[in-house]
């Protein structure tokens, strides 16, 4: 439930433009996509049992946006992409 609620809130914040999709992509793209794959069935069952299609709608929206971005541009680990970073 904690994971569901966390990504639900992050999805809302991204949609409302309080948090950028780039920041979430850098920090949480993998966890959002992977956890959605594992929890989607649970969410769909929950929606059915509650007769409420809006349950965790923003989590699904966020994970789908992250998955789309990964299809267009495969993720590169930060330790590789930013190996030459200097403070």
Question: For the chain, what is the HEC assignment?
Answer: CHHHHHHHHHHHHHHCCCCCHHHHHHHHHHHHHHHHHHHHHHHHHHHHHHCCCCCCHHHHHHHHHHHHHHHHCCCCCHHHHCCCCCC
User: At 8, phi and psi to the nearest 5?
Assistant: -60, -45
At 54-71, the pLDDT tens digits run 999 999 999 999 999 999
Residue ranges of domains in the chain: 2-74
At 19-47, the pLDDT tens digits run 999 999 999 999 999 999 999 999 999 99
């Amino acid at each position: 439930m904690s994971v569901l609620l966390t990504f639900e809130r992050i999805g809302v914040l991204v949609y409302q433009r309080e948090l950028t999709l780039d920041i979430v992509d850098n920090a949480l793209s993998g966890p959002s996509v992977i956890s959605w794959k594992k929890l989607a069935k649970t969410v769909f069952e929950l929606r059915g049992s509650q007769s409420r299609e809006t349950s965790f709608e923003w989590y699904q929206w966020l994970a789908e946006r992250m998955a789309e971005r990964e299809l267009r541009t495969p993720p590169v680990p930060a330790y590789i992409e930013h190996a030459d970073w200097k403070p």
